[in-house]
Amino acid sequence: MMEQEVRLNLKPLSIKDLPPKHHIELCHFKQKSNWDCGISCVLMVLPTKHRQHLLKNLSAVCKNEGFNKSTWTIDLCYLLRRYNVEHVFYTITIGVHEGYRGNSFYHHILNKDESRVNLKFREASKNDIIVKKGSISILHIIEHLVNGPIIILTNARLLYCDICKFNKISNELRKCLPWPTTYQGHYIVLCGYDIERQRVFYRNPSFGDHVCVMSVANLENARKSYGTDEDVIFIYK
């Protein structure tokens, strides 16, 4: 899909007196393997004290949370709640999407994760985790960035960076995966926007300490790709 076809009008945001440009400073963490991009994103949004605790006790915490080396968005929410980080999780699918059984990306992890993931969704409320079903608009996303960063599940194959000029992340992740797939789930942290240029700033845990920039159109393609369930976690600071 060409960018011109999905270009969005962000001018209504000016009515709400948002700054035309906003950037959130974050401590960057690079993922160490092909499975821990979500953990790295959580580390970026944690307060310093909690970040240090998680880094020091990472293996034990992952085991205690039950996901070990296979994280879903709901797992990240439980991890954020563990450290008392206020957040809201939006998704278009509550639990595991039945249609993913034939998806090559999910085929290898669905059988071992399905019961755990569905249970975490069912018990989210009693664990003070807010899960809301629905598709979040790009306007809602831009508005929230004034209050805090956003962890977003994307299709890595559709991620771009205007600074890097081409899609490096897809090539790098492809080397890590033992099976071919058209979808590669990958978490990033949105950390700002530029309304005038219709761009968003984000940190990619696959790279070193670097802020990437992509168009709103490319973000929409990457986050709404089949397989993401349009998962977004609004972090409140």
**What pLDDT, in 10s, does the model give residues 22-57?**
999 999 999 998 889 999 999 999 999 999 999 999
226 C-beta neighbours (distance < 10 Å), count: 12
Q: Is residue 12 part of a domain?
A: no
CA Rg value for the chain: 17
Domain membership flag for residue 196: yes
Q: Which one, of 233, 237, 167, lies nearest residue 206 by Cα?
A: 167
Please give the pLDDT value at position 4.
36
The residues near 6 (Cβ < 8 Å, ≥ 6 apart) are 217, 220, 221
Nearest CA-CA partner of 31 in 23, 19, 22, 41: 41
Decide: helix, strand or coil at residue 117.
helix
Query: What's this model's pTM, rounded to 2 decimal places?
Result: 0.86
**How many domains are there within the chain?**
1
- Residue 92 near residue 131 (C-beta atoms within 8 A): no
pLDDT at residue 11 tops 80? no
Q: Indicate whether 188 belongs to any domain.
A: yes
* Measured distance CA(100)–CA(212) in Å, rounded: 30
Is 94 inside any structural domain? yes
In a domain, 57, yes or no: yes
Whether residue 19 is contained in a domain is answered as no
What six digits make up the tokens of 199? Answer: 């761009």
Range of the domain at 66: 3-7+29-235
Quick check: 94 pLDDT over 50?
yes
Residue 13 lies in a domain: no
* CATH number, domain containing residue 90: 3.90.70
23 inside domain: no
